[in-house]
C-alpha cells in the first residue's frame, strides 16, 4: 500500500474505465471516418455516434436531439451562459458556491451589460428558497445553481428551485458535472433547462462533454462558427472516440449506479467516522444532504497544503482542482461562513468506483498520525 497511489480525488477526475477504453479505441484507427462525410464509411460512424447519443440521453431522460457535444463542462457552461443572450432580460442569478467556470462566465456577462445577483448560502451550503424567490426580477433571464457541489458534495433541491425559477419565466442552468453517473438524474422531473456535463468525472476520457438544452424554451447563439455541425450551435468535426466513450460511460452508470452507490457510501461513512474521532475535526456541510462519495473535512490547527504534501502517496485535494494551485481560501467554504483559517485547514476526500476498504483504513490511520504530528 505504501508504494502505490491511494487515489481519493475522484471529484477532480476519474480514471477511464477499462470497458470505456475498450469501446472507444477502434475509433482512433480502424473506424476513423468523419461522421459528416457522405460516403458509407462516414455514415456508419455517424450511426454509431447516434447510438451513443441515445445512451447518454437515456441516462438523464432527455431526447438525443437535445444534447450538444462540447470539449467538456467548461465549454458547455460558456455556451449556455454566453449563448442565451436576451435583449429584454439582462439579469442573472448565480449561487455564490458555483464552480469557477460559472462564476467567471457571470463576471464576463457583467462586463457586457448584464446584472448578476450572487446568492448566499446557509452554513450547510444550501440555497434559501425564499431569498431566491425575492431575488428574481421581471428581467431575470437565467438562474445558475449546481446540482452537486464539487467541493462539499452538498445537493441542492433543484426541483423546488426550478419551480420558483419558472414561475418568473426564467431559465434554470444546472451544472450536473459532479452528479452525472453518481445519482439518478431526470431533467423533466427536476425541471432543468440547461445542463452541462463532462465525461471525465464519471470514468470517461477528458476532452468530451455535453450540454443538455431544453429546446422548447431555450435558444442558443453559437460561440463557434464553421461547418454547421450539431445544427450550427457547435461547429467542428465530432470527437467520435469521445462520444462513443461518453455513451459507454453512461450505459455502465445506468446499470451499476445503485450497487456502486451503496459500496461507496459505506466507505465514505467509514472514512468520516474514523476522521471525526480526531480532536476538533468536523465535516463541512455535515448536516446537509450530500452525495455519497464526498467528504470535506476540516482539521483545525493544520495547514491543508502541508498535510496534502505530507500524505505522499495518498491523493486528496483542498477543493476544486481548477483553483487548487492558488492556495487561497475556498470561495465555497467562505460562502458557507467558514473563517479563512478553517478554510485553509480543510481537505476534500472524494471516493470512487475503484476505492477499497483497505485504502480507506490506510488513509485514516495515516491522516491521524500526520494531524497529530503537524499540530505539535
Residues known to be catalytic? 322
Query: Please, which residues have CB within 8 angstroms of residue 74's CB and are 6 or more apart in sequence?
Result: 101, 209
Distance CA 274, CA 369 (A): 12
Q: What cell was used for 168?
A: 418568473
| Mode of pairing for the β-strands spanning 115-119 and 140-144 | unpaired
Dmax (CA) for the chain in angstroms is: 70
213: which strand partners? 194
The phi-psi region of residue 146 (left if phi > 0; otherwise alpha if psi is between -120 and 50; otherwise beta) is: beta
The phi-psi region of residue 232 (left if phi > 0; otherwise alpha if psi is between -120 and 50; otherwise beta) is: left
Q: Which helix (H) or strand (E) holds 195?
A: strand 194-198
Q: Please list, residue by residue across 312-327, b when 16 or more beta carbons sit within 10 angstroms of its beta carbon and e when fewer do.
A: eebbbbbbbeebbeee
282: which strand partners? 298
Which among 194, 192, 168, 226 has a CA at the least distance from the CA of 84? 194
Chain centre to alpha carbon of residue 319: 13
Distance CA 218, CA 195 (A): 12
Q: What cell was used for 62?
A: 432527455
Amino acid at each position: 500500500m505504501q508504494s502505490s497511489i491511494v487515489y481519493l480525488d475522484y471529484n477532480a477526475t476519474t480514471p477511464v474505465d477499462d470497458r470505456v477504453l475498450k469501446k472507444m479505441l477502434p475509433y482512433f484507427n480502424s473506424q476513423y471516418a468523419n461522421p459528416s462525410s457522405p460516403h458509407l464509411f462516414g455514415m456508419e460512424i455517424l450511426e454509431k455516434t447516434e447510438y451513443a447519443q441515445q445512451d447518454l440521453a437515456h441516462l438523464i431522460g432527455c431526447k438525443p436531439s437535445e444534447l450538444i457535444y462540447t470539449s467538456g463542462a467548461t465549454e458547455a457552461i460558456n455556451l449556455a451562459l454566453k449563448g442565451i443572450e436576451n435583449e429584454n432580460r439582462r439579469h442573472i442569478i448565480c449561487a455564490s458556491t458555483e464552480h469557477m467556470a460559472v462564476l467567471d462566465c457571470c463576471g464576463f456577462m457583467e462586463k457586457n451589460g448584464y446584472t448578476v445577483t450572487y446568492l448566499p448560502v446557509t452554513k450547510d451550503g444550501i440555497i434559501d428558497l425564499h431569498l431566491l424567490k425575492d431575488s428574481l426580477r421581471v428581467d431575470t433571464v437565467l438562474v445558475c445553481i449546481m446540482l452537486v457541489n464539487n467541493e462539499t458534495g452538498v445537493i441542492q433541491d433543484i426541483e423546488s428551485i426550478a419551480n420558483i425559477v419558472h414561475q418568473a419565466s426564467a431559465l434554470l442552468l444546472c451544472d450536473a458535472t459532479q452528479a452525472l453517473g453518481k445519482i439518478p438524474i431526470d431533467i423533466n422531473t427536476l425541471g432543468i433547462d440547461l445542463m452541462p456535463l463532462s465525461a471525465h468525472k464519471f470514468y470517461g476520457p477528458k476532452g468530451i462533454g455535453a450540454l443538455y438544452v431544453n429546446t422548447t424554451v431555450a435558444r442558443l447563439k453559437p460561440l463557434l462558427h464553421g461547418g454547421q455541425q450539431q445544427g450550427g450551435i457547435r461547429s467542428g468535426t465530432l470527437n467520435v472516440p469521445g462520444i462513443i466513450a461518453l455513451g459507454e460511460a453512461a450505459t455502465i452508470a445506468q446499470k451499476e449506479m445503485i450497487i456502486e452507490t451503496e459500496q461507496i457510501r459505506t466507505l465514505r461513512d467509514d472514512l468520516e467516522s474514523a476522521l471525526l474521532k480526531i480532536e476538533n475535526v468536523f465535516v463541512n456541510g455535515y448536516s446537509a444532504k450530500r452525495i455519497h462519495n464526498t467528504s470535506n473535512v476540516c482539521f483545525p490547527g493544520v495547514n491543508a497544503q502541508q498535510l496534502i504534501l505530507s500524505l505522499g502517496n495518498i491523493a486528496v485535494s483542498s477543493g476544486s482542482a481548477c483553483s487548487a494551485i492558488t492556495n487561497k481560501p475556498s470561495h465555497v467554504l467562505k460562502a458557507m461562513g467558514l473563517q479563512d483559517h478553517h478554510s485553509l485547514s480543510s481537505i476534500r476526500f472524494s471516493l470512487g468506483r475503484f476505492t477499497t476498504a483497505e485504502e480507506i483504513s490506510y488513509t485514516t490511520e495515516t491522516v491521524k498520525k500526520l494531524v497529530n504530528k503537524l499540530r505539535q
